[in-house]
Structure 1
């Protein structure tokens, strides 16, 4: 069971208990979710350090290290930092659990590099090395447990990150194949990473084993493309071996044909739409635009990439020429914008319901024409999009708009477009939603307030209203206040109540924070 789970939360409100108490476990779960023990999620990046992991120290001192590691396994970075700290703990069981969890937590080589770097940073304060027997074994197991082609991709796509390379890790971990007959996985690919392509050719050039031949062919393509200038040959290798952008030379990316060949992976397509339009790789009405539009709208591709609707919305706004930043300028293609709009609605299938009762509230007491901190999306569209996502994926959802003392429930139907939902929210004027739900006797598990900033304009304080609502209705309701242009102000009271949380700005990480609070994981 997750450390932050509270199975009796609803009954405890009625029994006079305090499930909203902020404990060391609460602060740890916040750190696991968004990298800070503070009761505020901020879209601005901040450096991790021991000064931000005080709850972790407390739990380790209580002998709960193994429980911490199990919670870490649910997430990747920034949990890797906590995993590294646990790997230095004096309790043997905790250290063992960390290295057993490494394969589950480090889902790709970038995570592995990050883990090793964090471990180095933690150890630097102790004036000692990091490569003990346990770390060497864990890193060796990570390489041994990869399938051949995944490992070949890893060592050629992510060659070096944060000052670490595969050559470093393989050498320092003394990695050897777990199975001597498992040539392609470790022996061949390890030799490639350590000694280079020529050594591999000498050692394996005469092998006929089908698995070896497959890996050799892939590595040969990766090496060959480094020495080719002809764009036709480069595109042929990309298409035949599914090479990715990181495996190409910078000069290759000056070619329109090369960019076309890279359009298989939908996330890469979304990131480069602006540049490809600016470089006239995507010309209006061309077959290339038609192919991109088909790819963007592919349900199979969207499902495989697990894209959230907000990801598509952000990509669409970024692609809109009016929001283009830097020297690269382009005029957005109408067909591509339509395909992005279509993809936005299709991505609702990727949202896993939390199964809770929501009240999504939009504060329209101030203008919603501002741009959300860290994005190119307006506050009105962000609020409408999230209201729409929750309303369509959660069976029990109330959508409200409020301003200056009046509250109006909004009807959002499944066939409404994002534009129509935005208009529906902005046209109404209303008030404090928690009081409204209390007066109506409506049970709400989580109130989400979207406001331009975290400066409260109403007469009643949301935190106090929530406490009164809990007492009247008898459930452990939660409150999240999203200050879409906030600079760090708070109108909830999350420091003293684990059922309250503030968001400053909004991004894809905020979507996960909302879900984790709803599921009582933070």
Structure 2
């Protein structure tokens, strides 16, 4: 069976003629570039294979084939076998993944698992649900080799309890659909038990388990207590810390502390310096935090044991001093999400303050938000910052259930952090054309699916800025019904500058209230430009313009003899249509927008799926 990832890599070294741009502009006139009057020998016949992805059809012509493995890779990365990414959470069903069952039937089940591990461990699957869903299908397979490989890969793919519980949720759904059983057979029980035992490998992982069973106590209807009981997990006394944690998870800390097992260990001379005592002290602190009514004790426990928000009882979550303590060790994503709450409790000054006037915690938060090393280490997506900036400046959440005063220092730090986060997106080294639809339906106040606090034109300006900053070659245009205008943007332009340039061009109205999404391809051919990637930001509210965008793309590919020009269509305000050909392996459709989209686009262009 062909490996679609290898094919994509082979495509980079294909034996296609390399066109010299200067010679092209000098030797070709516009008509020849369009290919309308070119000699037949200028282009390859349709009965000649010009791409590794092509296969012969019934009458001898070569067409593009999307292999089963290619669809699998697309599904892992986008949740769709046809390169159709949808922002937000989408419900997955067995009808969405027939290619997985076909691959298993063909004897390629182990290869499916290998790909799952590859995408997971290399962080190429940004959304976890599609990956966990396919893993559950493999674990529920009747093919013994596939099942064994899938269960062996469980610790590598499910790295935190939330992922394990989601996997169990999918397993339950598949078992109900296939046989109506609960699905807790011997292999399943053994694998779940091994997942918990894998935490006993190092002292660091044991501490993580202690934090995880208290922080992620329940997800998707599953509790650690129920999962451990169903798995019949038995831990011997060779790993006393793991055994203690399992007893705590199932029967509670009070019962665990009263067992002869733990009391005998506490009598040993080395107990006070053991890792077990550290875990007992941590869980004691978490238990005390759950039961205390003393705010000063709550603050002390947070600072001494680095407790997180999930360990704090609701009665303390409106206390300013508690949040001051939480802010000291709060992870970046949690910090960004809770800026509104902390501002409401007046952790930050409402006016621009000097270093002298700032509290330690305010200074720490302001510095963390723009710390390049932290941003890169935690792989914060630029769009996460973009959303945070727009939401924070509004002074209220989307449901308007929380309002807060806006701190200028926080806004400044968020904006600085945004540009550092651009480094987390891999450059592709490709030649880009970014085309922004500025028809009436896009430029009016149209909210983005998946990011309702943003307008479509704001997202387009953000992505154009990102592309210009990380890619060496990027042209930009705006287009409407039958007209295009070039955007002159510089690599150091900020988002507000790019937005301003778009606004300046809009000062001279362009014709049409709808859009003709074939205009970017017409522009590329008229300017005799060769691009590797064309990205269109639109709402797909297309007009009666000629030709259809998919036909225009085909003509452009033929004109430059480059059949693998990639098209990315971002339908910012539309979730159920696409102007791209869903059968084209070099077309990605994005419906809506969220923090995963920039990296999803980058992975697609780099040939990861």
The bucket for the TM-score relative to the shorter chain is over 0.9
Aligned pairs (5 A) from 1:74-223: 74=119, 75=125, 76-125=128-177, 126-146=179-199, 147-177=205-235, 180-184=237-241, 186-202=242-258, 203=262, 204-206=265-267, 207-223=271-287
Q: CA deviation at 1:44?
A: 4.7
- Name the counterpart of 1:447: 534
Matched, 1:272 2:338: yes
**8 Å contact 1:5–1:520 — kept in the other structure?**
no
Distance 1:166 1:324 in 2: 32
Paired residue for 2:420, among 326, 342, 346?
Answer: 346
**8 Å contact 1:3–1:68 — kept in the other structure?**
no
Paired residue for 2:371, among 298, 313, 337?
Answer: 298
- Name the counterpart of 1:403: 480
Moved more, 95-104 or 421-430: 421-430
TM-score by length of 2: 0.80
1:39–1:332 CA distance, 2 compared to 1 (3 A): same
Q: CA deviation at 1:253?
A: 0.6
- Residues 375-432 of structure 1: per-residue CA shift (max 9 Å, x gap): 1122222111111112211223223323344434433323221100112234337882
Distance 1:98 1:289 in 2: 47
- Name the counterpart of 1:493: 581
Distance 2:385 2:412 in 1: 12
Give the secondary structure class of the aligned counterpart of 1:22: coil
Give the secondary structure class of the aligned counterpart of 2:85: strand
- Residues 231-280 of structure 1: per-residue CA shift (max 9 Å, x gap): 22111111111111112211121211111222132211211112222333
**8 Å contact 2:525–2:556 — kept in the other structure?**
yes
Across the two proteins, how many residue pairs are aligned to each other? 519
Give the secondary structure class of the aligned counterpart of 2:405: coil
**8 Å contact 1:438–1:469 — kept in the other structure?**
yes
Q: CA deviation at 1:180?
A: 4.6
Structure 2: gaps spanning 5 or more residues: 17-43, 54-63, 120-124, 200-204, 511-517
**8 Å contact 1:364–1:426 — kept in the other structure?**
no
Q: CA deviation at 1:208?
A: 3.0
**8 Å contact 2:395–2:403 — kept in the other structure?**
no
- Name the counterpart of 1:509: 596
Distance 2:522 2:237 in 1: 69
Distance 1:303 1:506 in 2: 22
- Name the counterpart of 1:251: 315
Distance 1:200 1:71 in 2: 41
Paired residue for 1:370, among 433, 446, 452?
Answer: 446
TM-score by length of 1: 0.92
Matched, 1:434 2:507: no
- Residues 425-478 of structure 1: per-residue CA shift (max 9 Å, x gap): 343378822233334443322211012444257533221121122223233011
1:25–1:134 CA distance, 2 compared to 1 (3 A): same
**8 Å contact 1:321–1:331 — kept in the other structure?**
no
Q: CA deviation at 1:43?
A: 2.1
When Rg is computed on C-alpha atoms for both structures, the one with the higher figure is 2
Moved more, 130-139 or 213-222: 130-139
Matched, 1:520 2:604: no
- Name the counterpart of 1:70: 114
**8 Å contact 1:456–1:491 — kept in the other structure?**
no
1:323–1:383 CA distance, 2 compared to 1 (3 A): farther
Moved more, 95-104 or 464-473: 464-473
**8 Å contact 2:468–2:474 — kept in the other structure?**
yes
1:510–1:5 CA distance, 2 compared to 1 (3 A): farther
**8 Å contact 1:481–1:492 — kept in the other structure?**
yes
1:171–1:487 CA distance, 2 compared to 1 (3 A): closer
